[in-house]
Structure 1
């Protein structure tokens, strides 16, 4: 994005396509605040945005999660000549309001849709979940299924994340199993990671470990890391050792894994093992993350 911004700044005559490309680039590359700033700069030059710029802007606002900014964008859009009834614009508007906590506005827009699709349903499900309404999110997802919409891999990631965040173990298992057996979708490492997080948070560490071991492909470090953190929370040194040493193979230079194992040992009074972990880190030239104690 630095190169794109440099080229943009070198342009003597910037048209709407250039502005759109830069805003979209920032929104898609995890720099939503920069996208909002560029839009504000564009507005000061009296350049009218088109629907594509507004969709990118709403995507950026969804990532920022600021209700005040979302209301400002919503108001700006309502005063423009852009047709909000267009499916992609309306979907972005619903998602922005839901992600920024304005569930009343998101729900009203959602209910007024002539035809609801998978994207709009998932936006609402995510919004309900991050606003502490996990049960309602699951109910809405179930309603979507009864209406005949077939969820894809992304939709299952959404609902499994909801179940994990809300501690809905049985519901999570139900959706995970239906993904495989009813909709015939192969769970990705991300889906397994969601299930491991769900099981770990509910204290079912052995079930989470067995699920990872049952995978046909290697689980990514994020899944193992979630389980290791749960082992620390539950003071499970036996399983924590197995998980930590797997992570040492996957991420040999990640100090966080060593610190977590050291904390597990410390919590169970195994001080010689704490010392051994520190020695191992020193031998491999691994430095502890500043500001993180061995005892958490």
Structure 2
């Protein structure tokens, strides 16, 4: 259009922004924003401003969406809804609630879109009290009478917050119970340790003539994995294959892979993995965890090398799997290699678990000096488990020097408990320093009595 010399108007810009939002074309959307500013159109056209907020929100540039709304003199409910939905969709539940409250302070009354988005935001962060308040507001506004989307969002909120009885009550009152409502309830039961209840709901849904969708299958498979229901999982797997759900549904395949891993069947998990349309970091981690769980560590190391060969960068979870293997098997050289790869090759900050693995590896091998240097370089404060790990190594190698160093630090930062005192007492006793051992144990008794 512009190449033919035609000048876009507000309607053209609005349509173009909607297209950018639908396909996530953030760069092009920013270019259009720049043109809109040059034409001074935002001050005059609230629909165009709303399309701009919506585009940024859908593309995940929530900060920019917020700024457009703030600098727009004429705001409407559609803009607020776009911003709230964007915050919710991209995992910023608390920001969505903040916008919801600000919207009402400016005099805008929530509608069905607002309610459905803000309820999902409450569910995503477990904000049950806020969800209950919104439910009361909805009843007052009669929004539950004929809006299935809002009703489903309400079931979803209660289910995710663990209020399963209330979720079931709302579900039973819905005028129409579609697959989305059933799935929300099934997901909630599975999330909160009620796997058997999730399976009953799954069966009941199908008895009422509704077919599961990909989200339903992913949720029920997770529930199966949590309770170790292998036979049921295999039956659902057969159903998925029969209905050709595999292709294009990575969420279902990943859930199936995960359940086989949890049930200790890495070969079946590997078979599912091979059928995945895309091998992402989550599926690699799940498969490696499965083989690690059954002790097939050479396969884990091979999978890691294959993953790197396919151009997938490891995340912190992958290194947790690798370092735990090295720790349990006493593979010091490999552990050092993976730790260095994580910290220097990929610039990751190790967690306390990673540090504890390495301290244990060094300690078991008699390298107390290296373990102590690593502790001194830590970017976070060592916890009780790490100090106990190091103290047990000091006891094994009868090192009073490093033992007293670790004990003094543990006491100084306030994490020393009776186990720390007992370990230090044993170190002194093993070294023949029985008076020091008695002194340490006396301190422990006095500490417990006070």
> What is the match of residue 83 of structure 1?
245
In structure 2, how many angstroms separate the alpha carbons of the residues matched to 1:202 and 1:237? 17
Partner-residue secondary structure (3-state), 2:205:
coil
Of residues 251, 274, 295 in structure 2, which corresponds to 1:132?
295
* Aligned position for 2:335: 172
More contact order relative to length (CA 8 Å, sep ≥ 6): 1
1:186-213 CA distance string (max 9 Å, x none): 3344432332233233333321121111
Aligned to 2:383: 220
- What is the Cα deviation at residue 150 of structure 1? 0.9
User: Once the two structures are superposed, what CA deviation does each residue of 1:246-273 show, in whole Å capped at 9, x if it has no partner?
Assistant: 2233444632222322333344443333
Corresponding residue for 2:230?
70
- Indicate if the aligned counterparts of 1:74 and 1:93 stay in contact, CA closer than 8 A: no
CA apart distance, 1:115: 2.8
Match of 1:144 in 2: 307
**Bigger mean CA offset, 166-175 vs 215-224:** 215-224
Distance 1:58 1:269, change over 3 A: farther
Q: CA RMSD in A?
A: 3.1
Once the 2 structures are TM-superposed, how far is the Cα of residue 128 of structure 1 from its aligned partner? 1.6
Q: Tell me the CA shift for residue 109 of structure 1.
A: 1.6
Please tell me whether the aligned partners of residues 199 and 220 of structure 2 are also in contact (alpha carbons under 8 angstroms). Answer: no
What residue number does 2:198 align with?
39
- Rounded Cα–Cα distance in structure 2 between residues aligned with 1:266 and 1:41: 59
Aligned to 1:8: 164
Q: TM-score, normalised by structure 2?
A: 0.53
Quick one: which of 190, 201, 216 aligns to 1:23?
190
1: CA distance between counterparts of 2:376 and 2:219? 40
Tell which structure's C-alpha radius of gyration is larger: 2
Offset at 1:145?
Answer: 0.8
How far, CA to CA, are the matches of 1:52 and 1:230 in structure 2? 48
* Structure 1 counterpart of 2:350: 187
Q: Distance in 1 between matches of 2:224 and 2:439?
A: 47
**SS state of the match for residue 169, structure 2?**
coil
Checking the alignment, whether the CA contact within 8 Å between 2:250 and 2:278 is kept in structure 1 is no
Unaligned runs of 5+ in 2: 1-125, 129-157, 172-180, 207-211
Aligned to 1:204: 367
- Matched position secondary structure for 1:116: coil
Change (3 A) 1:145 1:263: same
- Aligned 1:41-56 pairs, distance under 5 A: 41-43=200-202, 46-48=204-206, 51-52=214-215, 54-56=217-219
Distance between the aligned counterparts of 1:251 and 1:74, measured in 2?
50
Q: How many Å separate the matches in 1 of 2:254 and 2:403? A: 43
Contact 2:187–2:220 at 8 Å: present in 1 too? no
1:105 corresponds to which residue?
A: 268
Classify 1:56/1:275 alpha carbon distance in 2 versus 1 (closer, same or farther; 3 Å): farther
Query: Cα–Cα, structure 1 residues 35 and 162, in superposed 2: closer, same or farther, change >3 Å?
Result: farther
